Chains A and B, each alone.
Chain A
């Protein structure tokens, strides 16, 4: 069942029956109109084939078939005019800077807690709060070196932050490969307009990681730590390591000796200074966390705490991207930067608060409810598109443990024209820019646009039938 809500159309101007398009989509629409449908179909098949060949795949490696799933790629780009992007860029810099200030603060003086801006128990009893991080001095005071901030555009045309991803956000490889694919398939599109480049992302990432090395190192050794080939994002780990020209290591490749981390190489042991880890906090060191983890490195935490190796992202960043912390981010911006937040937050009801709970219970069918720790689009209720029975079943789960849930109004994600079986039709999209922090904040223009391929669906996650688009910031 489709959500019957108004939404912002990224391409078409309202009220003209789709005959007038926004200025920044002009050249694309002209080009699309001039393309014979057979050629479009042919190009789409070519894209499919190329993605398979390159092996840009998602999901787990199936031993028998040897097959891996592709995330559907849509060849119609999502376009953002540069003036709009510049505001977003300022907002992203501001938000991620405040979040890093917050993380430093809660592991040091805890000023924001003492000032009563955020309740102490909200932070200190959070599962993701890492006691082992207290008092630790990190290079540049940066905790989330790589952040993925999920944005949506509401029917009023303004962007809202849906969630902050400060742990190990993924998807940047799709952003890069989508652009490469578009340039390969439709070079003529790039000749007629100025699309800002994104190809330098791996360079920026390497710069960020190097600048995060302990002390003043001239040539720090950077590695990417992956849980291994069975991880759903393994392709991205391998891709980024390859693009940066650094080693892709697994836990067993690393060992700790005399207070340092080394990797085992054919030329003997080699010291490692910065670990871009794509392994979750609790799997990093079996001596400190899960003793059954084979993904980590025994003793890693002691080296980290001694300041002899850097982890990106740092441990314990999850406390800041928790959905129950999210409502406080605008206050963090005001508290640490003395600025008004540029990016809007979605109004959020915290169901641990009795008043909020009562309001949500009265309006459940109109709202979206999410688990505080949930991700990937699982375990959520979208009131307006759910059957009455589902809503009532969910109500029972909320009442059993209200503190585990937050609720938000049903936002109407904007739509962008997308190839579907019947031709071109509007589908809902979001945007995940990737923000890099070390001595300063860097990013490439745009990010990853995810698209919900099912008609009316608001869930863009690849695990739930979402696809991706190339994202253009045009001058």
Chain B
């Protein structure tokens, strides 16, 4: 497959996945803020989506106060914010359009309809009363796109690069969600295993569709160490890092390249690390440090994939 085409498909899939995760993060944030009480906690909750996407500086460059409507406006609709849902859906469609003859017409129609429907939403509704409906819609469109892709595309390089993009992005996003939330929820190491704000943790689990999964798998109260284990190492949990890397390594194994040893080696290393890791050890070394190194490696893997298959950055 042409590198340019693979690159478009890879990013199209990443952007769709990113839009979904952004909707998840914002959905949870607005719930927390609406039901929360303490002001200090409010500000932390509002800051989380900005920290996750590393856009806090950009936000405060154009906004004085961090409020829920301002945050939603910036993260959902701001054209200038490359991580906004608007930008993700726009670029997913742009990339899809550039390769619409290499993807299925159903995939293209899904991307195009998503973009056109997005334009039908009203700004004041999204940052106000209709926020939840909007985030649910984004999740639905992402589910639909992934399903349409899986159900219609030929099993070949286009499929492989689409899967690769989807799951690399998901691993990255889940790690970020866990890292930032963990900081807010547990500022001090000695608090691990201590008393918890039930709503906060339940919200974190819901943001990755893992609340029911937690209950099913652990049949226990919500403990942070188990939440971390679920999101990091539990491969039955489809949004965990381990499950995402199962898919990343599987997709990579189907792709043949000329100079891709570096990319494949790093993917296997990460996969092995997540397979054999012990959550107690991770906590002893520091969860934040562990997640930081995961994010670094995921970033590096992205660059290596880019160099190996998709042309220089």
Do the beta carbons of B257 and A266 come within 8 Å of each other? yes
- If the complex has contacts A66-B116, A253-B4, are A266 and B310 also in contact, measured as CB distance less than 8 A? yes
CB neighbours of B6 from chain A (8 A):
266
Chain A binder among B26-34, B93-101, B281-289: B93-101
Do the beta carbons of B311 and A264 come within 8 Å of each other? yes
- If the complex has contacts A66-B115, A238-B101, A266-B310, are A247 and B2 also in contact, measured as CB distance less than 8 A? yes
A-B Cβ contacts below 8 A, count = 51
In the complex formed, the residue of A with least CB distance to B108 is A55
- Contact among A55, A241, A268 for B258, CB-based, below 8 A: A268
Do the beta carbons of B257 and A267 come within 8 Å of each other? yes
In the complex formed, the residue of A with least CB distance to B113 is A66
Q: Report if A306 contacts B (CB, 8 A).
A: no
At the interface, is chain B mostly helix, strand, loop or mixed? helix
In the complex formed, the residue of A with least CB distance to B255 is A266
- Contact among B116, B258, B311 for A267, CB-based, below 8 A: B258
How far apart are A289's CB and chain B's nearest CB, in angstroms? 23
In the complex formed, the residue of B with least CB distance to A241 is B101
For residues 253 through 277 of chain A, which have their beta carbon under 8 Å from a beta carbon of chain B? Answer: 253, 263-269
Interface flags, B155-172, vs A, CB<8A=1, else 0 = 001000100000000000
At the interface, is chain A mostly helix, strand, loop or mixed? mixed
Instruction: Give the distance in Å from the alpha carbon of A267 to the alpha carbon of B98 in the complex.
Output: 21
How far apart are B297's CB and chain A's nearest CB, in angstroms? 22
CB neighbours of A238 from chain B (8 A):
100-101
Q: Report if B105 contacts A (CB, 8 A).
A: yes
Instruction: Give the distance in Å from the alpha carbon of A247 to the alpha carbon of B98 in the complex.
Output: 14
In the complex formed, the residue of B with least CB distance to A61 is B97
CB neighbours of A264 from chain B (8 A):
2-4, 311
The count of chain A contact residues (Cβ–Cβ below 8 Å) is: 23
Interface flags, B99-131, vs A, CB<8A=1, else 0 = 011000100000010011000000000000000
CB neighbours of B1 from chain A (8 A):
265-267
In the complex formed, the residue of A with least CB distance to B10 is A266
In the complex formed, the residue of A with least CB distance to B312 is A264
Instruction: Give the distance in Å from the alpha carbon of A252 to the alpha carbon of B3 in the complex.
Output: 10
For residues 219 through 269 of chain A, which have their beta carbon under 8 Å from a beta carbon of chain B? Answer: 229, 238-239, 241-242, 247-250, 252-253, 263-269
How far apart are B295's CB and chain A's nearest CB, in angstroms? 25
Instruction: Give the distance in Å from the alpha carbon of A248 to the alpha carbon of B2 in the complex.
Output: 9
- Contact among B2, B98, B259 for A263, CB-based, below 8 A: B2
CB neighbours of B309 from chain A (8 A):
266
Question: Can you list 11 pairs linking A and B with CB atoms under 8 Å apart?
Answer: A54-B105, A66-B112, A66-B116, A238-B100, A241-B101, A266-B6, A266-B157, A266-B256, A266-B257, A267-B1, A267-B257
